[in-house]
Amino acid sequence: MGGHLFALVLGLMQHYGVGAGISQTICYPQIFGSDTKLFQRRYPVADTAFDQKRYAEAFRAYYQYFFCLGGPTETVNPRAEDSGAAALLRTGIAAAMEGKYRLAIAETQAATARDTQFGEAQFILGDLFFVVRKCEAARAAWRDAEVNPGYPVPPDADTRQPYASAASEMLSRHCTKAAATTRPC
C-alpha cells in the first residue's frame, strides 16, 4: 500500500509539474540532525528557516518532520493517509519548496477540507498564507491548528498535538502587536 501511495503522489506531482528532480530526494539527506538541544521547539530547523525567510528549506524540513522515515516526529496519523489528505499535503509542501505557492495553498486547502482533523495541514496552510502575505488567513489557519483536537488518542496520552504547539508559537512570533513592529506580515 505504501509504495502504491508514493507512486500516486509522485504521479500527481509530475502531473502538476511539482517536484521534478527532487520528489524522490526530499527525505535525504535529512536536515534536522540529531542534536537534542534543537528540540526545544516542535519543529526547530523548519521554524528557524521559516523565521529567516528561507522558505524552501523550511518546507523541506516540515516535510521531513511529517513524512520521512526516521524523522524525529513522524507526526502524520495513518488516518490522514487513509483519507488521502496526507497525499495532498505532500504535494502542497513539494510545491511550496519550489515557490509554487498558489498550487501549494490549493493542495493544502484540499487536504484540510478532506480531513478536518488533519492539524498538520492546517498548520502548514497558515505558513503558506503568511509567505504570500495573507496575514488574516494565516492567523485563522494557525488558530484552527492550535485548537484542532486531532485524531482520538488513548486516555493516558498527551493530548497536546505537536502542530498545535507549533501553531501557538507562530501566532506569538508573527501575530502579536510586538511582532508587528519587528516581523511584519
Backbone angles phi, psi at 2, to 5 degrees: -60, -45
* DSSP assignment letter at 44: H
Model confidence over 115-174: pLDDT tens digits? 998 988 999 999 999 999 998 899 899 888 888 877 665 555 555 566 666 777 777 776
Domain ranges of the chain: 2-182
Q: How far apart are the first and last CA of the chain?
A: 41
In the block, residue with C-alpha cell 522558505: 55
- CATH domain 2-182 topology: 1.25.40
Cis status of the peptide bond prior to 44, with omega within 30 of 0:
no
Cell 511539482 appears where? 18
pLDDT of residue 87: 92
pLDDT at 107 over 90: yes
State pTM to two decimals. 0.73
Looking at residue 151, its pLDDT comes to 65
**Per-residue burial over 44-64, b = 16 or more CB atoms within 10 Å of its CB, e = otherwise:** bbbbebbeeeebebbbbbbbb
pLDDT 10s digits, 29-64: 666 554 444 444 457 788 888 889 999 999 998 888
Q: Is the dihedral of CA 62, 68, 72, 77 positive or negative?
A: positive
